[in-house]
Structure 1
């Protein structure tokens, strides 16, 4: 039985902890905050309850596997999952609106044809077929296996882009999300739909490789799921599973250094001066300067800043109207200007806003009220001073004005608006600038890959969104499985079967 110290209590770290404990190891989690869950926060006021992290779950199979491998109760016995249908409603700048069914290719193509004109559905469907090819080519090495030392295969973009012929110029293939939208989808609204998927994950459509097509493919193929009580309830269930497996938690314990002895990780040092010996250390958070004794292949110096999330949590009077959609995306009229702002360290004048309106009694004091969450991808804290009260208020007003297109009588119904920015994310999670890591992508010479789960220092492993295979609930859960496999099986581990 090995002693294992886990740094951070995010979902990826807890997933690794539960699996390692089941394998017979003694696992203790050290968390700088006073609670678990990492980015899966919760805000409550006067009977209104909001998720402050992701509001939907994709690829629930990742957590089904976790619960199967760590106990008798299944995921569905621990949380209530409901498929969101329609999966999303989209409001475009020209006034067009379309609702996309959940996990129904035929339903999506039909809806696009009716809303955007004949042929729109076929173009999107053909795009998803190509995205499916990319998924089949890259799924295992990108998501289910440890990151190999030789990453040349993942440096190549798996998306089979269509050759685009241009007048008097050589044919080219789309290499970025934006080029896929312009050359293959052709309709600006379809391009905006694709851009919106990329931006919601913190990716710049103009630079992200075409392989980002895996993100809409994953959502539209495997569906979007809501966790009753909010996605924080999933973190509650994973934490409870850890406790049931005898994982120990120490809260309010900031780890300042990973100790090294004889060329391998040998424990951790805490801010209060205490030292803890360990046979293995699992880092489940973005490493702060000085935490690691060696460079571990993380984000290179000088790399572009990673966006964060701006949220407005609205407590509304009045019942949620019949037929209201759970998720609505209000698209910008000027994608280029928004992308310039987000990835250039400014606030956008016309941001893309995601509106979440769960029909869940647990989120509101009674059926005469409604809890609504507005989310925007924004530049991180630092390039933008998100502690500036005037700036926060101005941008919140902009976001609310845009969301009013999706929620009838929004301003008149508002009882209270809670504003959360990357500054709050940084304070609560320790992530630099309140940044939210994106999922790993193949292509672009490997520049969208994350740090390997096995670090260059023997005995030190990485889990969570800042490690392979990147950010997002599903990807964080996968990282926990990969770390557990590496610790338990050693060099022979080749990923889940």
Structure 2
């Protein structure tokens, strides 16, 4: 039985802690803030409650497996999972509105045919078939297995099937998501639908590899889910599962360094000078924090996947509205920008800034637990922002509220109050420089969108969370915990879930 110190109480860190405790290890978690959950936070005010991090759960099988492997109570006995249907509602620049059903390719194609026409529906249906092929090729190495030592194969291999396109008398194959949209989908509304999946993760579709086709495929194939009471309830359930497995939590305990002894990780030095000795250390922190904790020790070799830095962040506006949620309202509405090029140049150009009219996601949960009574509604509006970007909160709020008005026509008349969450708030909660939010790992693109391995070059030190393989997002964070636990329990021969 090993003593294991876990730095951070994010979802990946707690997933690892629960699995390691079940395997018989003594696990202690050291979290610099006063609560658990990482980005899964909650803001409460005047009887309203809002998720300030992820608002929906894709691929719930990851957490079903976690709860199955760590206790007798399955996930559904610990939280109430609700399948969101429609999966999403879209408001396009030309005013077209489209609702997509959950986990039904046939239903999606039918909805597209009714709204955008038979040709557009056929092209999207064909695209989903190719996206499934990309998913089948990349699922295990990018989600279920530790990062391959020869990760360069993933960097070079594009799992999205080649669809030759003749342009200027030359036959070419789409290499980016933007090219997939322009050459294979063609309808600007389909392009907006496709690219919104990249934008949601802070990725520029013009530079994002075609392998990102797996992002919309995952949503169509496995559905979109909500946790009743807010997504924070998922963090609460995992925290309680850790406690039930006798994981120790120390809040307000900031790590100042990783102790090394005889050439291996041997504990954690805390900011108050105390030292928590351990046989193994699991770090669920951002790259800059890991560098500081290691105090100059190189834990990644020169030929390892480099840590991602400078990722995009988020701006979120929390809206308290008078008047109840209208019946039939979609849980999630994506309002697409009217000027794609201007949006991309603002977000990914130099200097980067929040666009004047960004693509925004409006979440309107049908959940009585979030409001003081049936005569009110809690709405969350989110847009991508450059990491570290600053701006007057009121001006940022005006940007997003103006766009959200296309999804909630009477928004300003119903508005009681609002609060703005900026990249600085995310930085304060997660420790990530500039409030950066990690994207999921993707193949191709020279490995630029891969994340470093869970194992490190310092014996006894492992990493978890969105900044480690397999990257950002709730499912990926959960899998990082499974991979770290597998490598610790079974050793380097561990090959992931079967």
Is TM more than 0.5 here? yes
1:192-271 to structure 2, matched below 5 A, reads: 192-271=192-271
Q: Is the 8 A contact 2:306 2:452 kept in 1?
A: no
Q: Is the 8 A contact 2:41 2:51 kept in 1?
A: yes
Q: SS of the counterpart of 2:470?
A: coil
1:446 Cα deviation after fit: 1.3
Deviations 1:173-212, CA, capped at 9 Å, x for gaps: 1001101010111111101111101000111101110000
Paired residue for 1:59? 59
1:296 Cα deviation after fit: 2.8
Paired residue for 1:434? 435
Deviations 1:388-418, CA, capped at 9 Å, x for gaps: 4xx2211210110110110131001000101
The whole-number CA distance in structure 2 between the counterparts of 1:283 and 1:3 is 14
1:300 Cα deviation after fit: 4.5
Paired residue for 1:146? 146
Residue 171 (structure 1) aligned with residue 143 (structure 2): no
Paired residue for 2:338? 333
Normalized against structure 1, the TM-score is what? 0.97
Q: Is the 8 A contact 2:88 2:334 kept in 1?
A: yes
Q: Is the 8 A contact 2:305 2:453 kept in 1?
A: no
Residue 28 (structure 1) aligned with residue 35 (structure 2): no
Paired residue for 2:354? 347
Counterpart among 315, 324, 327 of residue 319 in structure 1: 324
The whole-number CA distance in structure 2 between the counterparts of 1:196 and 1:206 is 12
Paired residue for 1:443? 444
Q: SS of the counterpart of 2:286?
A: coil
Q: Is the 8 A contact 1:4 1:278 kept in 2?
A: yes
Paired residue for 2:300? 296
Residue 310 (structure 1) aligned with residue 315 (structure 2): yes
Q: Give every structure 1 segment of 4 or more consecutive aligned residues whose post-TM-superposition deviation is greater than 4 Å.
A: 297-301
Q: Is the 8 A contact 1:157 1:442 kept in 2?
A: yes
5+ long unaligned stretches in structure 2: none
The whole-number CA distance in structure 1 between the counterparts of 2:138 and 2:410 is 45
The whole-number CA distance in structure 2 between the counterparts of 1:18 and 1:167 is 57
1:250–1:269 CA distance, 2 compared to 1 (3 A): same
Deviates most, 278-287 or 474-483:
278-287
1:232 Cα deviation after fit: 0.5
The whole-number CA distance in structure 1 between the counterparts of 2:429 and 2:66 is 26
5+ long unaligned stretches in structure 1: none
Paired residue for 2:410? 409
Q: SS of the counterpart of 1:377?
A: strand
1:235 Cα deviation after fit: 0.2
1:472 Cα deviation after fit: 0.2
Q: Is the 8 A contact 2:305 2:447 kept in 1?
A: no
Q: Is the 8 A contact 2:163 2:174 kept in 1?
A: yes
Q: Is the 8 A contact 2:306 2:451 kept in 1?
A: no
Aligned residues: 489
1:152 Cα deviation after fit: 2.8
1:161 Cα deviation after fit: 2.9
